[in-house]
Chains A and B, each alone.
Chain A
Amino acid sequence: MSQTHVGPDRESTTSTPRWVKVFGIIALVVVLLFVVLLLTRGPHRPGRHLPGGDARAGHTPPAGVPGHP
């Protein structure tokens, strides 16, 4: 049975691994997409990712509903 891995091994590599580059690009695209969506479409609303956009967000909740004074 192998020993439990509790700490890092000494690493001699000086270059950035390929998986880091791939992850970095994906992370950058996701964050950019998030920022663009936030800036262009305003606050998060249900249905914003669906065809028809924010139609459901226009629904006015009834008085007395928790969180909707």
Chain B
Amino acid sequence: MTMTPRLRKFALTAHVTTTVGWLGAVVVFLALAVVGLTSQDAQTVRGAYLVMEPAAWFVLVPLAIASLLTGIVQSLGTPWGLFRHYWVLFKLLITVFATIILLIYMETFSLMAGVAADPSADLDVVRNASPGLHAALALLLLLVATVLAVYKPRGMTAYGRRKQKEQRTVSPAVDAAT
């Protein structure tokens, strides 16, 4: 199942755009987390935690899912495959893991927004280091995935080696027949 060069370029563009977009969105969340922790203005602090939940639903979640799906399409539609090379496999695992954590963390965004919306809640209770910690870890994971995608370190899985061997035995037979 190999894509045409034109389709492959389109799929690659979609994958790079969504993945880099996700990374950029995580940086914005890191900035929001810092604002929430350090700002002296009560409304700004509450606003930072209030905006995180809708922003995550409208930006982080769609980009994470789009990055995962376009990555799967990209790998299955090219000779790289999904399970043939370790770097592709690790990148897939990182994306799946980060997406699952994000979906679980959506409940936390909701709880923090609830606290921030409560006028009786003290500002020290509203402030929370959790988003910053999670954003920093997510940034680290996505940077590792980006480095893997750019450097493409060598190493084939057992499945990949078997497939390569099969292709080597098929190719000479095809050449001889033509």
Contact = CB atoms under 8 A, between A and B. Distances in A.
Interface of A: 5-8, 10-11, 13-14, 16-17, 19-20, 23, 27, 30-31, 34, 43-50, 56-57, 59, 61-62, 65-68
Contacts of B155: 11, 13, 16-17, 19-20
Contacts of A11: 154-156, 164
A56 B128 contact: yes
B90 interface: yes
Interface in B69-85: 78-80, 84-85
Interface of B: 5, 8, 53, 78-80, 84-86, 90, 93, 97, 101, 104-105, 107-108, 110-115, 117-118, 120-121, 125, 128-131, 133, 152-156, 161, 164
A68 to B, nearest CB: 5
Contacts, number: 96
Query: Which residue, B79, B86, B101, has most C-beta atoms of chain A within 10 A?
Result: B86
* Interface SS majority for chain B: helix
A59 B85 contact: no
A13 B90 contact: no
Given A14-B161, A17-B154, A67-B114, A44 B78 contact: no
B118 A7 contact: no
B130 A61 contact: no
Contacts of B90: 20, 23, 27
